[in-house]
Structure 1
Amino acid sequence: MKSFRHRLLVTIMAWISLLLACILLIVIQLFPMYAEAEDKTEVWIILALIFIGALLFSALIGHRIIKVQALPIENVTQTALELVKGNYRARAFEYGNVGAVQLSSTINILARNLQEITAVREMEQERLKTLIENMGSALIMIDRQGGVALVNRSFLGEFHLIEEQVQEKFYKEVPLPEVFERFIEQVFMTEQAARDQLEFKQGIHTKNIDVYGAPVLGDHEQWLGIVIVSHDITELKRLEQVRKDFVANVSHELRTPVTSIKGFSETLIDGAYTDEATLLSFLEIIHTESNRLEMLINDLLDLSKVEQAGFRVNALPTDMEKVIKRAEEMVSKRIEEKKIKLDLQLEPVILQGDPDRLLQVMMNLLVNAITYSSSETTITVRLYTKGKSALIEVEDQGIGIEASEIGRLFERFYRVDRARSRNSGGTGLGLSIVKHLIEAHHGKVDVESTVGVGTKFTVQLPLGS
């Protein structure tokens, strides 16, 4: 642009030189007429006026030339430089000669197109970023040099990381589980898609993830790096294990009484019925095992019913004090057999609940307390209100529960002391039924326990309107 102005300046100076030459010619022509004049002031005035007129004319011509030719080109050039810098909002003034106007108009059309393309690209990038950040699966992208190019929020949360630990880091510098690093290496080295299920320790917990990795290819099949997507399947694995345990436990619990009934009945058929004492003993065993089998089947049916989606309790105004005293009557025989003292500390409480289901809850909690309590100990039952809730506490002086086992206490067939609970006739489903029934009443149940001291179950139920 400066060279263009220089050329214009040279042109203008040429004009001035030409005009000055003309002035000199005029002076040369006029000078002899006044050469003999004594006062030459008039001559100098004429020469000055001609010179000033020539300068003004040259300035006018130069200004016009620069305005028409140079300024539009300079403006277009500045606009083009702004576009190069990425400022697609810049626009050129559409004025000057026909050629300059066409050039400015073309530059403006180009700027508008670039602005629209940039806006669309930014919108697509924002959508992609939002999608990646809010997807449920964890994602990490590693470039061809092994550096972490991108991670999403789910990845940071899944591996308990912060951005500073992964930004601009080589993937081996990121504190990731060893099995996950090996999977990354496999995909990185082979440049082939792979899928696996990984298991690793995270603190005191075991975590399972389903992980998929694939190479990232650009234009012309150019390898840009790899992308790894992982999904937490810990809960699915746990539910799968619970299902397997449930099937195994049901099979075992059913086989034990069935085997006893079959064995003793076959013995009687083979001739043992002739001995009256043996007959009565065997029949008593068959009767006991039949009751145990019936109890297991009933509990399974109850559990299946309360676990169904849409299960509702028949909520009525219920006197919880009467429900607990009724449960006491039903377990009184077991209490007397173990010489256990039952201490009832009950306040009058009326709540919205299903009396039959709440009786089932109290029965299971009391039976569980009796089962794990030693003889001549005390079981305390408290009933009181706190805010808008009714609280029921069942506290025993039994064997207690390890802290690591409390989380599994409400699983089906889970027993703290398997031998003792099985010998007492328990099915291992009582607490699981309690949990589902309390949740159906929109309440919750908590456990506090100390090994060798005892256990306290606390049930919280809403009082209702």
Structure 2
Amino acid sequence: MRTFYSRLLFVFAVLYAVMLAALGVVLGQLFPIVFAQRLQVEREDLYIFYIVLFVVLGLFYLVSLWVASRVLTRYIKPFDDISTTALQLADGDYTARVFEDDLTGITTLSHSLNVLARNLQEMSQQRESEQERLKTLIETMGSGLIVLGRSGTISIMNKTFGQLFGLQFKEVRSKNYQDIGLPKDLESFAYQLLMTETPTRKQLRLNTAKGFRYTECYGAPVIGEYGKWLGMVIVIHDITELKHLEKVRQDFVANVSHELKTPVTSIKGFTETLLYGAYQKEETLLEFLEIIKLESDRLQLLIDDLLDLSKMEQQEFEMRKTAVSVQTLFERALQITRQSAEAKEIHPLIEGDDSLLVKGDENRLLQIVVNLVSNAITYSSPGTAITLRSDKYQQYGILIIQDEGIGMGPEELPRIFERFYRVDKARSRNSGGTGLGLAIVKHLVEAHNGKIEVESEVGKGTTFKVYIPLVTS
């Protein structure tokens, strides 16, 4: 695009050339008439005059054009640069600048335009930075977010929302929310928001790409300048885990109430019976007192287990970790459970490396092994085998407890570490179990920075593998 400076210089050059050409024609016509006869110049010599006249006028034209160019460059071109820079700024190029020259007399204007350009550049950079931070914030949100225009078209959607419903923003951008396959309940929620234009919060169970999820949906209008309504924003929080924890809490309260109610009811019933006269018969008295003692022991065991779990879940729960012999743990555990094993004619075997040492709290590790061995005895038939074996794997020592009991199906394995969960409820209740043993085992194993695995098959038995860090030199 030709600038004002170049156009003005072109016009000056053309006009000046025309003027000099006209002057040359006039002089070329007048000289022979006015001066040639007086000076007695031959007509043939006039050609020399014409050549000299052409050269002189040409040189004068070039010198004048150079002078005019310098003058225009000094006083006209700065205005042209200012105009060009202003157009660049208007087009969004905030890096454009004007050369500031005191000799032109427009330094103030040039400086002001440069200050404006710098301010615009800073504002643009700040806006880009804020937009980038906002984009990063939206994309890294753990909750799904979608922004709808006034007509329901999608203008913004973050990655979490896309992953939740299997969508790509580039594929759904500018489409209506009703045309992208969202769950019907979510479509109804969005429709209600667009119709009422009021903030709304609602819990929905939605069929997502991850299966059915419990969500809390919050929608609110997007208000622009001067209170103009621009659309709606919807934020979706996945509360499936919270729902699961709430159910676990409810189940825990119900189970604790039930487990406490059973021995308390027995103690109360037999005590009332004794008070109503049964104490007069010595045989009945002793029998009822024995039952009351068993129920009291059962109640105490339950309370102790609950207190253990409570301590383990507190951050201040500490253990004294030392080098512990796995062989010694197995032998002590078998001594503690010998009576119940002999009652079923079960004779557990110890195999593996008798020099294996692990790092942990000896009493807590013993509690782990005793719980697992007691479970193995409880769920095993008389005369079957139970094996306690030690092994190594990388930086872990492995404590393996294997039985030939009733086993478990694959649908039960994910739940066996839940509080109060029982595979064979009748047998475990009759044996006096609280249903908290495996939950305690898992907490203790994790407190040792270890892990526990279980393999089982119905009718063939169960194998627990406890991984505890080895003693490092």
2:41 paired residue number: 37
Please identify, of 227-236 and 425-434, the stretch whose mean Cα deviation from structure 2 is larger. 227-236
Q: CA RMSD in A?
A: 2.9
Distance 1:2 1:92, change over 3 A: closer
Helix, strand or coil for the counterpart of 1:344?
Answer: strand
Distance 1:361 1:165, change over 3 A: farther
Q: Quick one: which of 338, 349, 355 aligns to 1:343?
A: 349
1:67-120 per-residue CA deviation (whole Å, 9 max, x = no partner) reads: 345533443333233223322112233459746655544433332221111111
AA matched with 1:357: R
AA matched with 1:290: S
Q: Quick one: which of 253, 259, 263 aligns to 2:265?
A: 259
Inter-partner Cα distance in structure 1 for 2:144 and 2:370: 46
- 1:424 equivalent to 2:424? Answer no
- 1:79 equivalent to 2:85? Answer yes
1:323-371 per-residue CA deviation (whole Å, 9 max, x = no partner) reads: 1112112222222223334232232122222222111111111111222
Q: Is the 8 A contact 2:409 2:456 kept in 1?
A: yes
- 1:410 equivalent to 2:414? Answer no
Q: How many angstroms does 1:188 deviate by? A: 2.4
AA matched with 2:448: H
Helix, strand or coil for the counterpart of 1:282?
Answer: helix
Q: Quick one: which of 274, 283, 287 aligns to 2:289?
A: 283
Q: How many angstroms does 1:206 deviate by? A: 4.9
How do 1:372-451 residues align onto structure 2 when only pairs under 5 Å count?
372-451=379-458
Q: Is the 8 A contact 1:67 1:96 kept in 2?
A: no
1:364 paired residue number: 371
1:453 paired residue number: 460
Inter-partner Cα distance in structure 1 for 2:211 and 2:58: 97
1:272 paired residue number: 278
Distance 1:270 1:378, change over 3 A: same
Q: How many angstroms does 1:425 deviate by? A: 1.0
Distance 1:44 1:300, change over 3 A: closer
Q: Quick one: which of 212, 221, 237 aligns to 2:218?
A: 212
Inter-partner Cα distance in structure 2 for 1:27 and 1:96: 46
How do 1:81-230 residues align onto structure 2 when only pairs under 5 Å count?
81-94=87-100, 98=104, 103-159=109-165, 161-163=167-169, 166-201=172-207, 206-230=212-236
- 1:300 equivalent to 2:302? Answer no
Q: How many angstroms does 1:428 deviate by? A: 0.6
AA matched with 1:378: A
Please identify, of 38-47 and 182-191, the stretch whose mean Cα deviation from structure 2 is larger. 38-47
Q: How many angstroms does 1:44 deviate by? A: 2.6
Q: How many angstroms does 1:194 deviate by? A: 0.8
Q: How many angstroms does 1:252 deviate by? A: 1.0
Inter-partner Cα distance in structure 2 for 1:218 and 1:382: 70
How do 1:308-319 residues align onto structure 2 when only pairs under 5 Å count?
308-319=314-325
Q: How many angstroms does 1:255 deviate by? A: 1.0
1:14-70 per-residue CA deviation (whole Å, 9 max, x = no partner) reads: 444444454455455532332463332443344334432443354335434543455
- 1:52 equivalent to 2:58? Answer yes
AA matched with 2:362: P
Inter-partner Cα distance in structure 2 for 1:251 and 1:76: 85
Helix, strand or coil for the counterpart of 2:124?
Answer: helix
Distance 1:219 1:157, change over 3 A: same
Inter-partner Cα distance in structure 2 for 1:447 and 1:88: 66
Distance 1:353 1:274, change over 3 A: same
Distance 1:169 1:446, change over 3 A: farther
Helix, strand or coil for the counterpart of 1:407?
Answer: helix
Q: Is the 8 A contact 1:20 1:54 kept in 2?
A: no
Q: How many angstroms does 1:281 deviate by? A: 3.1
Please identify, of 54-63 and 296-305, the stretch whose mean Cα deviation from structure 2 is larger. 54-63
Q: How many angstroms does 1:242 deviate by? A: 1.9
Inter-partner Cα distance in structure 1 for 2:16 and 2:166: 79
Helix, strand or coil for the counterpart of 1:56?
Answer: helix
Q: How many angstroms does 1:7 deviate by? A: 5.6
Inter-partner Cα distance in structure 2 for 1:74 and 1:61: 19
Inter-partner Cα distance in structure 2 for 1:181 and 1:63: 71
Q: How many angstroms does 1:244 deviate by? A: 1.7
Q: Is the 8 A contact 2:325 2:358 kept in 1?
A: yes
Please identify, of 302-311 and 256-265, the stretch whose mean Cα deviation from structure 2 is larger. 302-311
Q: Is the 8 A contact 2:16 2:61 kept in 1?
A: no
Distance 1:400 1:176, change over 3 A: farther
1:240-264 per-residue CA deviation (whole Å, 9 max, x = no partner) reads: 2222222211111111111111112
Inter-partner Cα distance in structure 2 for 1:176 and 1:393: 49
AA matched with 1:170: N
Equivalent residue pairs, number = 465
Inter-partner Cα distance in structure 1 for 2:23 and 2:300: 132
Q: Is the 8 A contact 1:148 1:166 kept in 2?
A: yes
Inter-partner Cα distance in structure 2 for 1:165 and 1:332: 68
Helix, strand or coil for the counterpart of 1:308?
Answer: coil
Q: Is the 8 A contact 1:68 1:96 kept in 2?
A: no
Q: Is the 8 A contact 2:398 2:467 kept in 1?
A: yes
Q: Is the 8 A contact 1:400 1:450 kept in 2?
A: yes
- 1:326 equivalent to 2:332? Answer yes
Distance 1:4 1:316, change over 3 A: closer
AA matched with 1:266: E
1:204-230 per-residue CA deviation (whole Å, 9 max, x = no partner) reads: 865322321101011122221111223
Distance 1:371 1:295, change over 3 A: same
Please identify, of 426-435 and 191-200, the stretch whose mean Cα deviation from structure 2 is larger. 191-200
Distance 1:158 1:324, change over 3 A: farther
Helix, strand or coil for the counterpart of 1:75?
Answer: helix
Q: How many angstroms does 1:299 deviate by? A: 1.5
Distance 1:72 1:96, change over 3 A: farther
